[in-house]
Amino acid sequence: MDLGLRGARVLVTGASRGIGRAIAGAFADEGAHLAICARARQPLEEAAEELRGRGVTVVARDLDVADTAALRVFVDAAAAELGGLDAVVSNVSGGSAADWEKALRTDVLPFTALVEQAQEHLAAAPHGGSVVLVSSTSALHVTAPSGTKPYSAVKAALNQHAAALARTLAPRGVRVNTVSPGPVEFDGGGWARRRDTDPDYYAGIRARIPLGRLGRPEEVARAVVFLASPAASFVTGANLVVDGGFLDRV
């Protein structure tokens, strides 16, 4: 299936490692040009160089998405440098387990700023624009690893906002979808850390995943890239769970 992404212009937040890095790589493999950001400059530059090696243009900016003014400047600069924007992926999360204000600053406010700033660019995209929110299964249940963390509650709030945006932006030709990963493991990520520091907890979570293992970043990335692409032209307001069967629900 041709996803129709060759030459597309895509912005991905938090793309120097983990799921965001895999998302950027999957877009590059489809021939999409990229704008990526992260806070630490060196890993971001290394990611950008590797992606350029796949034959696409990559704009990279070191910034903290909690600085929504800087995020807005980045959105407009990305559109200017890439010649427009066809899709934006909100991937960064502060992952806050205790700090409610931080969760609002790193998760909620950047998403609203990103969509507000990008929507004129997306509305001008020739095949329609698209937004993908990377959420979490933690928004969809209350047992571990979800619980009473700000992380889980703000993800749930973002799910509602993305679904509502899907309705309000549809008349402008902009689709909005969510991808909700279950636990995903990669070197340097939170689950690899827990595997080493708290093996019993890790094993307990793994035992609840019917497919028998945690997910891989590229498995989430493929879902994001599909939803962002013209191949998903009639899909909006969806929340695609990518969790190996972890959630017990209909």
**Which residues form the catalytic set?**
151
Instruction: Tell me how crowded residue 187 is: count the other CB atoms within 10 A of its CB.
Output: 8
Q: Does 242 bind ligand NAP (CB under 6 A)?
A: no
**Residue count, binding to ligand NAP (CB under 6 A):** 27
Q: Is 243 helix (H, G, I), strand (E, B) or coil?
A: coil
Which residues 59-118 are close enough to bind ligand NAP by CB under 6 A? 64-66, 91-93, 95, 106
83 within 8 A of 9, measured Cβ to Cβ: yes
User: What's the min distance (Å) between Cβ of 131 and ligand NAP?
Assistant: 14
Q: Does 128 bind ligand NAP (CB under 6 A)?
A: no
Choices 11-19, 48-56, 74-82, 115-123 (CB under 6 A): range interacting with ligand NAP: 11-19
Q: Does 28 bind ligand NAP (CB under 6 A)?
A: no
- Considering beta carbons, is residue 125 or 139 the nearer one to ligand NAP? 139
- Considering beta carbons, is residue 56 or 154 the nearer one to ligand NAP? 154
Choices 18-26, 115-123, 157-165, 168-176 (CB under 6 A): range interacting with ligand NAP: 18-26
184: nearest Cα among 194, 176, 174, 175: 194
- Considering beta carbons, is residue 187 or 200 the nearer one to ligand NAP? 187
Q: Is 38 helix (H, G, I), strand (E, B) or coil?
A: strand
Q: Omega before 217 cis (within 30°)?
A: no
Between CA 132 and CA 227 the distance in angstroms is 7
Which residues 131-160 are close enough to bind ligand NAP by CB under 6 A? 134, 136
In sequence order, the 6+-apart residues with CB closer than 8 A to the CB of 5 are: 27, 30, 31, 32, 225, 228, 229, 230
| Sole binder of ligand NAP in the list 18, 25, 150, 244 (CB under 6 A) | 18
Say which amino acid occupies 87.
A
| Sole binder of ligand NAP in the list 5, 9, 10, 20 (CB under 6 A) | 20
Between CA 52 and CA 58 the distance in angstroms is 6
75-107 burial code (b ≥16 CB/10 A, e <16): beebbeebebbbbbbbbbbbebeeeeebbbbbb
Q: Does 17 bind ligand NAP (CB under 6 A)?
A: yes
User: Per-residue contact track with ligand NAP, 169 to 198, x per CB under 6 A?
Assistant: ------------x-xx----xxx-------
Give residues in contact with ligand NAP (CB under 6 A). 14-20, 37-40, 64-66, 91-93, 95, 106, 134, 136, 181, 183-184, 189-191
